[in-house]
């Protein structure tokens, strides 16, 4: 636009100059022929032309100034355009760089996408493979666990079988003990009834045998039979729980106690039944009360004398297992009562002489205590066997408990290992696979 204005100013200036020059030339050529009025008119036109030329020059100067200004502005615009072109070039360079970066980023993105797809495929394959391996491992572990459990069950059954046998044997022993206890209670009741019956029988026989007991041999045999019967009634067995007429030799001679009662723990008790009964028989054969009292007193004194003889013999010295006393058996509770009535201190006297007086009513409970002692020994042996079985059972239970404890630790270790594997899968393998 500045160039167009400049060209327009040049054209206008040239036209004005041409018109002024032509007017001046015409005036000069027409001066000889023209009149003054024409000359004045021509001068006025020339003046007007000069004024217009001045105005034209002013306008041209203004146009030139405006053109210069516009040229300056055009230069500034060209500089601005150059800067803009430079900026455009720089922008194009940056755009090229950005395009290159975008292309590189796109390539990287495509590579990353491809890599991610490959990783996803690998992860899927790895996950499928892990699932297969986990399923196979779990199935294998289950089979192994089932086999181990079956083996442990078989081992447990083998361990429990002796325990079951032990419990069964213990139950059988306890049943035997209970049967034995019941039998003992029944036998004790029968023995008490038998004692009562035997007492009645002995009292009846006392009168019937009074005539037969006048000779010493018959009296001794009757006392021995009575003693043996009492012992058997008490529940003792000959040659097992007691022995009769067993001979002992010592420095003082040969001794033969009427009865030797065997006690538990290797102990023995000696019993003598040779009580002098002649005075009692004499008393029963007379009706005179004074004579009877005399015969009864004589009988009591004879018993005391026999106590002295037994004390001197010292039967307890024949066996180290014997307590330091001997039992003097009086074959009738009535005879025992008569002796104590005549000599009330006879019992204490016998005790000081290490002799224990015993009638059937006293000896039977003592012998029953011995019999019960033997039964208690048998029960103790049975209890010992039960205790042994209990100890074996306890040991086997302890062994079984140790095996179960070991099994529990193994199961705990297996569970911990499985949990660790699952935790590793979730926290590491799956996390890496998801990336």
Asked if residue 116 is part of any domain, the answer here is: no
Q: Answer yes or no: do 157 and 210 share one domain.
A: no
Q: Do 259 and 355 share a structural domain? A: yes
Q: In terms of residue numbers, what domain contains 216?
A: 168-393
Name 260's bridge partners: 243, 270
209 and 334, same domain (yes or no): yes
In a domain, 113, yes or no: no
Note whether residue 119 is domain-resident. Answer: no
User: What total of structural domains would you count in the chain?
Assistant: 3
Q: Are residues 353 and 251 in the same domain?
A: yes
Q: For 268-308, how does the pLDDT look when each residue is reduced to its tens digit (9 = 90+)?
A: 778 887 777 778 778 777 778 888 888 888 888 988 998 89
228-277 pLDDT tens trace = 777 776 666 655 556 676 666 565 656 677 777 777 666 777 888 777 77
Q: Is residue 114 part of a domain?
A: no
Q: Is this structure's pTM higher than 0.85?
A: no
Check if the beta carbon of residue 87 is closer than 8 Å to that of residue 30: no
Q: How far apart are CA 389 and CA 396, in angstroms?
A: 10
Count CA atoms closer than 13 A to 181's CA, side-chain side.
10
Residue 202: predicted pLDDT: 58
Asked if residue 97 and residue 10 are part of one domain, the reply reads yes
Does the pLDDT value for residue 364 go beyond 80?
no
| In contact, 53 and 83? CB cutoff 8 Å | no
DSSP string, 101-146: HHHHHHHHHHHHHHHHHHHHHHHHHHHHHHHHHHHHHHHHHHHHHH
Per-residue confidence band for 29, with pLDDT thresholds at 50, 70 and 90? very low
Does residue 27 sit within a domain?
Answer: yes
Kindly state whether residue 187 falls inside one of the protein's structural domains: yes
Are residue 291 and residue 186 in the same domain, yes or no?
Answer: yes
Structural domain includes residue 16: yes
Q: Are residues 82 and 156 in the same domain?
A: no
Q: What is the C-alpha to C-alpha distance for residues 96 and 98, in angstroms, rounded to an integer? A: 5
Whether residues 327 and 203 fall in one domain: yes
Local structure of 243: helix, strand or coil: strand
Is residue 87 scored above 80 in pLDDT? no
Reply yes or no on whether the pLDDT at 351 is more than 80. yes
SS3 for 211? coil
The average pLDDT across 373-397 equals 72
Do 94 and 232 lie in one domain? The reply is no
Q: Do 424 and 357 lie in a common domain?
A: no
Q: For residues 220 and 292, state if they share a domain.
A: yes
Tell me, yes or no, whether 99 and 175 share the same domain.
no
Tens of pLDDT, residue by residue over 143-159, are: 776 777 677 667 666 76
Give domain status of residue 232, yes or no.
yes
């Amino acid at each position: 636009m500045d160039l167009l204005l400049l060209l327009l100013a040049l054209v206008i200036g040239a036209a004005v100059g041409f018109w002024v020059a032509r007017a001046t030339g015409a005036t000069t050529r027409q001066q000889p022929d023209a009149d003054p009025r024409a000359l004045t008119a021509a001068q006025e036109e020339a003046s007007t032309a000069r004024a217009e030329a001045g105005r034209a020059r002013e306008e041209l100067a203004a146009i030139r100034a405006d053109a210069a200004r516009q040229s300056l502005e055009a230069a500034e615009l060209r500089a601005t355009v150059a800067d803009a072109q430079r900026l455009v070039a720089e922008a194009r360079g940056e755009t090229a760089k950005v395009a290159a970066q975008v292309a590189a980023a796109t390539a990287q993105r495509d590579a990353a996408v491809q890599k991610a797809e490959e990783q996803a495929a690998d992860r899927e394959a790895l996950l499928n493979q892990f699932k297969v391996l986990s399923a196979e491992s779990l199935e294998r572990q289950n089979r192994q666990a089932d086999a181990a459990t079956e083996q442990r069950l078989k081992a447990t059954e083998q361990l429990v079988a002796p325990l079951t046998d032990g419990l069964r044997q213990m139950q059988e022993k306890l049943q035997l003990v209970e049967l034995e206890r019941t039998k003992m209670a029944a036998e004790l009741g029968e023995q008490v009834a038998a004692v009562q019956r035997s007492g009645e029988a002995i009292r009846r026989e006392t009168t019937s045998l009074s005539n037969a007991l006048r000779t010493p041999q018959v009296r001794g045999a009757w006392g021995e039979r009575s003693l043996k019967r009492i012992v058997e009634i008490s529940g003792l067995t000959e040659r097992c729980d007691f022995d009769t007429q067993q001979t002992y030799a010592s420095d003082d001679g040969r001794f033969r106690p009427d009865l030797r009662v065997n006690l538990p723990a290797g102990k023995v008790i000696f019993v003598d039944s040779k009580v002098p009964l002649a005075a009692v028989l004499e008393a029963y054969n007379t009706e005179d009360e004074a004579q009877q009292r005399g015969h009864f007193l004589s009988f009591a004194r004879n018993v005391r004398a026999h106590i002295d003889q037994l004390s001197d013999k010292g039967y307890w010295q024949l066996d180290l297992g014997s307590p330091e006393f001997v039992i003097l058996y009086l074959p009738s509770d009535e005879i025992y009562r008569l002796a104590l009535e005549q000599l009330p201190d006879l019992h204490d006297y016998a005790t000081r002489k290490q002799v224990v007086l015993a009638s059937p009513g006293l000896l039977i409970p003592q012998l029953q205590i011995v019999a019960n002692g033997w039964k208690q020994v048998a029960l103790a042996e049975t209890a010992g066997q039960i205790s042994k079985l209990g100890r074996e059972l306890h040991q086997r239970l302890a062994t079984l408990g140790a095996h179960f404890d070991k099994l529990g630790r193994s199961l705990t270790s297996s569970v911990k290992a499985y949990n660790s594997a699952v935790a590793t899968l979730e926290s590491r393998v799956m996390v890496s696979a998801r990336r």
